[in-house]
Chain A
């Protein structure tokens, strides 16, 4: 069964510093996607970044980038120059091919210290 594991329930970082959130997953598929979603307090969940497994290059979106290690089934999110608005729950998610569903990790609560 496909699973997604986030081993860091909480993380904190100083404003303007860099933080990395970890995610590991388990799948037997060879072609798949991975997502990081952000859920701010009392606000809607939004997509932060997406990685396609067949692409060698790590995805980047402004201050957000991933470190995708396919062999290790690791998909970490790096946030550079952390801002107060980055404070949120972050979820790693994996869409199961053919099953039309997203499997989410348990989430990491990120706190930004001013």
Chain B
């Protein structure tokens, strides 16, 4: 594809519902990152994959957050039992090389609103 795509673009969930957010990185990109961006703030790191291996999940705020990339391409971020504080834009980024020193290409984000 031409760039990183994310779906859905918008998601409204009732508190307590589970949600799944999808990221399609640029084809062939080995590195994939998830970030959480609260309104008016800079993105904050959630987790990092190198191919299918999740090498860093230190930014996941709680055990309700889970991410996977089983075949080293598409990734899913799952949030269980959503809470109002989970409301944010979730950004996915991919990079052709390992590590955060290389340019990351961002998707449009998924705006999650928890009521």
CB within 8 Å of B: which residues of A? Answer: 4, 32-33, 35, 37, 43-47, 50, 91, 93, 95-97, 99-107
CB within 8 Å of A: which residues of B? Answer: 3-4, 31, 33, 35, 40-45, 48, 50, 55-56, 58-59, 91, 93, 98-101, 103-104, 106-109
Of the listed residues A96, A101, A105, A107, the one surrounded by the most CB atoms of chain B closer than 10 A to its CB is: A101
Taking A99-B100, A100-B56 as known contacts, 4 extra A-B pairs with beta carbons closer than 8 A to each other, sorted by chain A number, are A32-B101, A44-B107, A102-B33, A107-B42
Main secondary structure of the interface of B (DSSP, over half): loop
Given A97-B101, A106-B41, A107-B42: A45 in contact with B56 (beta carbons within 8 A): no
Contact A45 B91 (CB under 8 A): yes
Contact B106 A45 (CB under 8 A): yes
Tell me the smallest distance from the CB of A67 to a CB of chain B, in Å. 21
Contact A105 B42 (CB under 8 A): yes
Chain B residue at minimal CB-CB distance from A104: B42
Tell me the smallest distance from the CB of A20 to a CB of chain B, in Å. 19
Contact B100 A104 (CB under 8 A): no
Chain A residue at minimal CB-CB distance from B49: A100
Contact A102 B45 (CB under 8 A): yes
Question: What are 8 contact pairs spanning A and B, CB under 8 A?
Answer: A44-B109, A91-B42, A97-B101, A100-B98, A101-B59, A102-B35, A102-B100, A104-B44
Residues on B with beta carbons closer than 8 Å to the beta carbon of A102: 33, 35, 43, 45, 100, 104
Q: How far is B40's CA from A104's CA once the two chains are assembled, in angstroms?
A: 12
Residues on B with beta carbons closer than 8 Å to the beta carbon of A44: 3-4, 106-109
Residues on A with beta carbons closer than 8 Å to the beta carbon of B41: 106-107
Chain A residue at minimal CB-CB distance from B59: A101
Closest 4 pairs (CB-CB, A-B) = A104-B42, A95-B100, A101-B45, A45-B106
Q: How far is B37's CA from A105's CA once the two chains are assembled, in angstroms?
A: 12
Given A101-B59, A102-B45, A106-B42: A96 in contact with B106 (beta carbons within 8 A): no
Of the listed residues B55, B59, B103, the one surrounded by the most CB atoms of chain A closer than 10 A to its CB is: B103
Chain B residue at minimal CB-CB distance from A95: B100
